[in-house]
Amino acid sequence: MRSIRSFAKARSRLSVKHKKIINQENDFLFSANSKSAFEKILQSSENKVLEIGFGEGDSLFEMAIDNPEINFFGIEVYETGVARTCLKIEESGIKNLKLYLGDAVDLMLNKDIETKFDLLLFLFPDPWHKRKHNKRRLLSSDNLKKFRSYLSKKGLIFFRTDWQEYADSVKKICNDQEVEFQEIEKFPLLKGLTHTKYQRKGIKAGRTISTFLFK
Ligand X SMILES: C[S@@+](CC[C@H](N)C(=O)[O-])C[C@H]1O[C@@H](n2cnc3c(N)ncnc32)[C@H](O)[C@@H]1O
Query: At closest approach, how far in Å is the CB of 38 from ligand X?
Result: 13
Query: At closest approach, how far in Å is the CB of 76 from ligand X?
Result: 5
Distances (CA, A) of 81 to 39, 53, 156: 22, 10, 25
Q: Check 103, 126, 142, 176 and give the catalytic one.
A: 126
Query: At closest approach, how far in Å is the CB of 209 from ligand X?
Result: 11
Q: Between residues 118 and 126, which has the closer beta carbon with respect to ligand X?
A: 126
Q: How many residues does the chain have?
A: 215
Query: At closest approach, how far in Å is the CB of 145 from ligand X?
Result: 16
Sites of contact with ligand X (CB under 6 A): 6-7, 52-55, 75-78, 81, 103-105, 123-126, 138, 196-199
Q: Between residues 6 and 96, which has the closer beta carbon with respect to ligand X?
A: 6
Which H, E and C letters describe the chain, residue by residue? CCCCCCCCCCCCCCCHHHHHHHHCCCCCEEEHHHHHHHHHHHHHCCCEEEEECCCCCHHHHHHHHHCCCCEEEEEECCHHHHHHHHHHHHHHCCCCEEEEECCHHHHHHCCCCCCCEEEEEEECCCCCCCHHHHHHCCCCHHHHHHHHCCEEEEEEEEEEECCHHHHHHHHHHHHHCCCCECCHHHCHHHHCCCCCHHHHHHHHCCCCCEEEEEC
Query: At closest approach, how far in Å is the CB of 153 from ligand X?
Result: 26
Q: Between residues 46 and 168, which has the closer beta carbon with respect to ligand X?
A: 168
Q: Between residues 104 and 175, which has the closer beta carbon with respect to ligand X?
A: 104
Cα–Cα distance measured from residue 13 to residue 10, given in angstroms and rounded to the nearest whole number:
9
Judge whether 126 counts as a catalytic residue.
Answer: yes
Q: Between residues 85 and 96, which has the closer beta carbon with respect to ligand X?
A: 85
Q: Which residues are catalytic?
A: 126
